[in-house]
Structures are given as C-alpha cells and as structure tokens.
Structure 1
Amino acid sequence: ITQSSQITSEQLLQQERLEIPKPNSDSLHYLEELVPEEDFKYVMFDDNLVTVSDTGKELGEFTVTVEPTRYKGLECFLIHANSHGSIDGVPCGTSIVCYVSKCLETLEQQHHEYVKLENCPLDRKTFLMRQSENYTVNRIITQGEDVQRTTKTIPVELMRGFISEGSNLLLHRLLIEKGMETDLQFISFDSETNLCPAIYKRLDERTQTVETVELRVFGIERTISSSVDLPTSWQSYFMKDGHLTNRVQVGSPVTMKLAKVPLKIERDEETPKPVFEKKDLKWEEDLQLHSRFLDRKEELKGDHATYMCHHPELRALLADFLQFLLLRKPDDVIAFAANYFAAFSTLIPDPSPYMASNAPTPFPASRTNAKIDELRNL
C-alpha cells in the first residue's frame, strides 16, 4: 500500500484552521541567539546508560553520540542514538541517525523502530530530508507481511522551530549548558509524523546516586502534545557538564539510568585579560619626546616661512582682511570671513545685474578689485 500527500502553500489557510502549531517567540529567539563557536564547544561527547525495569532488572542499553561532521559541504553535527533491549523476552529497539546544522535545523534523519514479536513483528522506518523548499517525509511500516509506504512534503516555512528526535538530544545538552530561564515551545512530530507542539520545562534539581557517588542533577521535561493522541512526556536529568544520568517516559515502567560516573568534561581555563592602567603622558618631562617636539616645531616654522616667501600675496591678502575686519568689527567673525573670502572664488557665478543691483556690500568683487589683480600679477 502506497500513499502520498503534500502540504502546499495554497493549503496554508486550511492548515491554520486545523491549528498547525507554531513555536513561541522565546524558542525562536533562543535559536537565533546561538553562537556555534561558544555554545557547542562542550556538547560533543558520548552518553552510555543502561535500561532497567521498575524491579531493577537490566533490560538493555541506551547510547548517544554527538560529533562534528560535514553534510553536503556544510559543517554540522552527526547525532547517533541507539536503544536496544528485551522486554518480557521480546527484542525491541530504536535507532536514530541525524544530521543537524549549527542552528539546530534538521538536515536529514533516519529513525528506525522495531519490536520482534514472534507472530507479528513490527518494523517502522521514517526518513526525513530537507530540500531547498520542502521537507520530505517517507515512512515504511512493516507489520508481519503487511507493508505500508507513505510520502508527504511539508514547506520549509511551516517547519520553523522544528526539533526532530535527533536535534532534541542536542537541544537538551544546550539547555543544560546555557541554562533555561523560561518554558520553550518548539514544534515536532508525534508518532504519526503530525506536526505538534513540543514544550520544554525545567524540573527541580535533585540528587542521584551512581556507584555510591551522589550527583547533583538538573532536569528537563519534554512534552509532545499530539492532536490525535494523548500527550507524551519524557523527563531527563543531567550532570552539570551535560552528561545524561536518567531518562524516562512518564508512565512507562522502563527507565534509562547512568551505571558508571563518566569522566568530567574538562573546560578550557580562560586566562583573564590583563588590565593596564592608563598613565598620563608627560612628554615635557621626557627628554627624547621633548627633543622631537622642538625639532618638529622648527621644521614646521621653516616650512611655513618658505611658503610665505614663495607666495608674497598671502601676506598682503591677510593684511587687507585684518584691516577690513577691524574696521567693521562684526559680531560673527566666522561668517564675516566666509563672505569676505567667497568674493575671491572663481566657482561662484556672476550675480545677475537685475538681482539686488543696488544692494550695498562691504566686500570687494574679485574682478573689480585692482589691489587683488595687482597681487595676482606679481
């Protein structure tokens, strides 16, 4: 049996009526504020836990690895999670291989679940892949001899704030690393790959004993609120460095626990930057600086004197201006100087004889000032 479906842009209005979930502003802000060089520095390590029943019987194992890699030329993270065991003599397990970008965007994920019942084994595979404009979701469900295949595509704009099962494992480590100030609502898939809210809440701190060692652990609860099924919650506890110590699905008799205290993740010690006090520069007391100042002063004085010798009209021009200034004694010396020297600019167009022809002006026109013409001809 093969089924195909597609969520297109034209169906957005219909989907909004069906209340397609959206992440809240805090969760989007959290993703936007990620600094890969800093935030992901200490989240790449392995977790190894054992699966136990409510009676303490060991049923299997649970492992998570996070490592840097490249996906189609893009730097990202490879997340690999495995859970295998046997419940009541029935082998079962889950395997996740996921490529996640540095902004927690899922690039590709393979999710495999199986329950090897004697008469009717169940095998469920889900493939999620991001393309340029859409996400493609392929599912293959095998139950006994019955095989169902479904395919659907979801526009990328509807997947903003989406956290897959693989990126969820990395997000938990980040929430412990960076802290969690408020509840965050992302979106995720339920068991039938329907988009639904995924709410993350901080749990109270507690102690957990591992190998006679008491650890202070920090908890996060993740709840998937499916629109077609009851909500499902997982509670996970971590050491301060991000190592997973306990994970349980609320209502399940099976718990994943840390059996051996892992080596503590060593962090780079940042050497404090030296602080240098600002000292006043008293160059007059420095013989070398004072000598350089005097040499430069004499150099400039000689340069200025040479320039004035080569341009004798400068002395006459300044003398005329000072004489005119002292005669007028204007309140605004700067404006007076601007108007005075503007008269000598060749860039100013000739005024029309019909405009303010009788307006009095105290300034000489450059083309009628015999003194200026005489200076220019020197």
Structure 2
Amino acid sequence: MSDLIQPVHTFSSENGLCVKGAAGPLRASKAKAHHPAAKHHHHSGQKVRIPPHANAEAITFLRSLQLEELQKAVFSETLTMFSDIGEPQGELTIDVQRSRCSDEVGILTYCLFVHAFSRSVVDQVLCANTVQGNLSAQLEVIEQHSQEFIKFQTIPMERKVDLLKRDNQLTMTRYMKEDEDIKVEVTTFPCDTIAGFVSETANLVLLRVMAWRQTVPRNARFLALDTDGRLSYSTYQALGSQTIQVDHHEAEVFIVEQTVHSEDGIPVSCQFYLLPDGHLAKRVQVGSPGCCVLTTLPALREEDEMESRPVFEKKPLKWEEDVEFYSKFLDRKEELRLSHSSYKRQHPEAQALMSDFLLFLLLRQPADVVTFAAEFFGPFAQRHPPTPSLRSSHRPSPFRPLEPEPEPEPEPKPESDPPSG
C-alpha cells in the first residue's frame, strides 16, 4: 500500500490552515494538471475561500451546557432502517457513556464516549458506517474516528476520517480508497478558529439536550464538516411537535432539522424526531427514500424532581429502657470507678489537698467560690509571684495574668574614674 501513496500537494493559506495530500498512481490527466505552468494558472484563477466562523449565539449555547444535562444524555438506543416501501434494511445503534480521558498534561478529566454504528443492505450492496469519539463537557471533540464502507460489486469504497486535538490545534486525517486508488489528506485547524465546531459525535449528544430543553438556539450558526471534509456552517431549526405511532403507541415528538450548508455543494438536511427524554424516534434525511425508525417504545425517563427535605421530630432518648445501652452504661461506670480509685491510691496527696480545700470552703462559706479557690490554690503555682512584705489596700488578683510581666531593666553601672597620670 505504501508504494501506491505518492505526494500530491502541500498548501498553506493565510488563515493558518495547512493541507497535505497523497494519492495513488497519477494518470496522464493528473500529471498534466500538476505541470508548473498549469499549476500557476490554476491558482491564479482560484477564488480565495474565507473560512467560516460560528456566531456568538452558537458559542454561547455550547458554553451553557450543564453537567446534569449531559448526564441525562447517557443511554443506548437502537433504530431499524427501512426502505421507502417499508422493508427492513439494517440497524442503527447509538450509545453514549460516561468516561474519563487524559488531557494534554496527563490529568484525568470527565468526558463522554459516543459510539454509533449502522449496517444495512441496499440493492444487494453492503453498507457499514461507524463513528466513535470522546467529548469534553462543552462537547468539544477530543478524539474521533469514523469509517464508512460500501461494498460495490465492481469497485468497493472505503473512507476514514480521524480527528485529534493536540497542542491547541485540531488535526483531521482523511483516508479514501476506491479500488486500488488511495488518497490521504491531512488538515490542521487552530483551535481558536473552530470555536462552535460540532462533530458527528457531538451532534448526537446535542440533539438529546435539545429534546430535554424542547428548544433550539435561535439564529445560531455552528460549524460542521460537509461530505468533502470541509468546514461549513451548520444550523438547527425547530419544526414543532407531532404525535407519531411507535410500537402501537402514540408518542409526542419534538422535530429538529439540521442543515449543513456546504459552500461548494447542495445543503444536506436531516430531520430528527425526538422523544421528550432524548430518545431518537425517527431519522429522515431529506431527499433519501429510506429512514430510521424506533420500533420499540422505551420507558421514558422523567426529569428528577427535587423533593423537600424530610423533617423528623426530635424524640427524647430513653436509654434506661434499652437493655444494651444500660448494660454499656453500667460497664463504663464501673470502669471509671476503678480507674478513679486506683489513681487516688497512687496519689494520696491529691485526696488530702481536696479534703483541705473542701474543709476551708465549708468553714468560710465565701460568696465567690471561684476567687476563693484561686486564692487557695494560688501558692501551689510554680510561676506565682512572691507575696510582698507590705500589703496594699488593693489586693492583687489571685488569677495568673494573661501576659507575662515585663522584667525590670538592669540599672546602669557607674562609670569608673580614669586613672590619674
């Protein structure tokens, strides 16, 4: 395969985009197109393409997403693909899970893992499409891998698109194979130029959030990739509500139409019929004869209502009536009694000191018991100042001062007379 890949061109634009391509063996027409003179003529007549930018409404809507809303979008669903005459052709499975991924500095952060897979047979031609990737809390793409395969009887076709966000830029690698022709393109987008970009995986989660909110952002213009891998405008429009039949049950759906406005091609529109909890009941691509339909109505998930905190009446604890509590109380009481008795036997001076204090207290019967106790136990303090020989009329406080008393400054020594000569 490496022998078939040859470099085609390298293009750098003023807006910071860099595109590199590779293709299979060049035919005569391709070789002529890459002649220096032809190349110069081609660029002189080519129009300068101004890259699109998302507007403020789209960026504000993405920044308004809450973590609780994204958690409501975590579930799996399966739809059946039908032809225009009602024949089943395949299945479409969409799965959104909570996950964690490492950022550029290696720190684990919250993210969403999205995986969608479809497989069908149309006119005896096998078609398969898969996309999976990780999204941030603002639905910014961290990594995404998509693959499309169509097995034609004459020339099978395979296409892969990889998106990877690294070093403040998004790198897109497109791999296309038709028979033996292989083409690889690498495009780099600076992250500050693709604010408001909605990838395929982000679109699946964004639709579920819109279903919960029952609204779409007005006049919002997002960014998306068209079928050729070019940045284009993407818009959402609410088409109102409708009642449809799902598994012999009537269900109210909210219809959202997404349109990718390709600059060089025809706009591509898809209509999504969404249940109130975000499940996809029906998907129709405008202009396509087939559609995807939900055949089994799931149990609708309702929004959790915050209940008021219960109030419990405070009841008195009658622990004496509890045999276990009362037994623990008696055990603890006996343990403390033995501990106190042991301490008094080991320190008889404590018993004598307390007996003297109680004796003086009962004899004097002071009105201020605390001050009397402080005066009684004051002489036992190690840092108690000595009692002056002459007591003043103002008795000092028996309590220890909060701040230590300043030490007296030493008296200066008298200067000695100089020796006489």
TM-score normalised per structure 2:
0.62
Match in the other structure for 2:135 = 100
Measured in 2, the distance between the counterparts of 1:133 and 1:61 equals 37
Task: Please report how far the alpha carbon of residue 2 of structure 1 lies from its aligned counterpart in structure 2 after TM superposition.
Answer: 4.1
Measured in 2, the distance between the counterparts of 1:6 and 1:169 equals 32
Measured in 1, the distance between the counterparts of 2:257 and 2:48 equals 29
Is residue 227 from structure 1 mapped to residue 257 from structure 2 by the alignment? no
Is residue 81 from structure 1 mapped to residue 131 from structure 2 by the alignment? no
| 3-state SS, counterpart of residue 210 of structure 2 | helix
Measured in 1, the distance between the counterparts of 2:7 and 2:90 equals 34
Is residue 193 from structure 1 mapped to residue 229 from structure 2 by the alignment? yes
Task: Please report how far the alpha carbon of residue 163 of structure 1 lies from its aligned counterpart in structure 2 after TM superposition.
Answer: 0.3
Q: After superposition, give the CA deviation of every residue in 1:213-239 in whole Å (9 maximum; x if it has no partner).
A: 010100110000001111000000111
Structure 1: stretches of 5+ with no match in the other structure? 276-308, 310-378
Match in the other structure for 2:203 = 168
Contact 2:17/2:190, CA 8 A, preserved across alignment? no
Structure 2: stretches of 5+ with no match in the other structure? 1-5, 19-46, 103-107, 312-393, 395-421
Measured in 2, the distance between the counterparts of 1:7 and 1:128 equals 20
Distance 1:145 1:218, change over 3 A: same
Match in the other structure for 1:63 = 93
Is residue 249 from structure 1 mapped to residue 285 from structure 2 by the alignment? yes
Task: Please report how far the alpha carbon of residue 23 of structure 1 lies from its aligned counterpart in structure 2 after TM superposition.
Answer: 1.4
Task: Please report how far the alpha carbon of residue 267 of structure 1 lies from its aligned counterpart in structure 2 after TM superposition.
Answer: 3.8
Larger Rg: 2
Distance 1:134 1:6, change over 3 A: farther
Measured in 2, the distance between the counterparts of 1:119 and 1:146 equals 14
| 3-state SS, counterpart of residue 154 of structure 2 | coil
Measured in 2, the distance between the counterparts of 1:96 and 1:11 equals 25
TM-score normalised per structure 1:
0.68
Identity of aligned residues (%): 30
Match in the other structure for 1:22 = 53
Is 1-10 or 148-157 further displaced after alignment? 1-10
Letter in 1 for 2:253: V
Match in the other structure for 2:330 = none
| 3-state SS, counterpart of residue 30 of structure 1 | helix
Q: Which residue of the other structure, out of 152, 168, 186, is the alignment partner of 1:151?
A: 186
Distance 1:10 1:214, change over 3 A: closer
Letter in 1 for 2:79: L
Measured in 2, the distance between the counterparts of 1:20 and 1:273 equals 53
Task: Please report how far the alpha carbon of residue 179 of structure 1 lies from its aligned counterpart in structure 2 after TM superposition.
Answer: 3.2
Match in the other structure for 1:45 = 75
Q: After superposition, give the CA deviation of every residue in 1:179-229 in whole Å (9 maximum; x if it has no partner).
A: 325242100111111110000111121111012101010011000000111
Measured in 2, the distance between the counterparts of 1:274 and 1:33 equals 32
Q: After superposition, give the CA deviation of every residue in 1:66-86 in whole Å (9 maximum; x if it has no partner).
A: 001112222100000011100
| 3-state SS, counterpart of residue 177 of structure 1 | helix
Distance 1:26 1:152, change over 3 A: same
Task: Please report how far the alpha carbon of residue 10 of structure 1 lies from its aligned counterpart in structure 2 after TM superposition.
Answer: 5.3
Match in the other structure for 1:238 = 274
Contact 2:95/2:114, CA 8 A, preserved across alignment? yes
Distance 1:7 1:244, change over 3 A: farther
Contact 1:2/1:149, CA 8 A, preserved across alignment? no
Match in the other structure for 2:252 = 216
Letter in 2 for 1:175: M
Contact 1:189/1:196, CA 8 A, preserved across alignment? yes
Contact 1:8/1:154, CA 8 A, preserved across alignment? no
Contact 1:199/1:222, CA 8 A, preserved across alignment? yes
Match in the other structure for 2:408 = none
Task: Please report how far the alpha carbon of residue 8 of structure 1 lies from its aligned counterpart in structure 2 after TM superposition.
Answer: 6.2
Contact 2:17/2:189, CA 8 A, preserved across alignment? no
Contact 1:219/1:235, CA 8 A, preserved across alignment? yes
Q: Which residue of the other structure, out of 165, 179, 182, is the alignment partner of 1:130?
A: 165
Measured in 1, the distance between the counterparts of 2:199 and 2:303 equals 28
Distance 1:29 1:215, change over 3 A: same
Q: After superposition, give the CA deviation of every residue in 1:225-254 in whole Å (9 maximum; x if it has no partner).
A: 001111000000111111000001100011
Q: Which residue of the other structure, out of 180, 183, 205, is the alignment partner of 2:241?
A: 205
Contact 1:2/1:148, CA 8 A, preserved across alignment? no
Letter in 2 for 1:86: V
Task: Please report how far the alpha carbon of residue 270 of structure 1 lies from its aligned counterpart in structure 2 after TM superposition.
Answer: 1.1
Q: After superposition, give the CA deviation of every residue in 1:72-119 in whole Å (9 maximum; x if it has no partner).
A: 222100000011100000000210011110101001110101100011
Measured in 1, the distance between the counterparts of 2:225 and 2:184 equals 18
The runs of at least 4 consecutive aligned structure 1 residues that moved more than 6 Å come to none
Q: After superposition, where does 1:224-303 map in structure 2 within 5 Å?
A: 224-272=260-308
Contact 2:84/2:289, CA 8 A, preserved across alignment? yes
| 3-state SS, counterpart of residue 71 of structure 2 | coil
Measured in 2, the distance between the counterparts of 1:196 and 1:232 equals 11
Q: After superposition, give the CA deviation of every residue in 1:243-266 in whole Å (9 maximum; x if it has no partner).
A: 000001100011000011112225
Task: Please report how far the alpha carbon of residue 9 of structure 1 lies from its aligned counterpart in structure 2 after TM superposition.
Answer: 4.7
Contact 2:214/2:254, CA 8 A, preserved across alignment? no
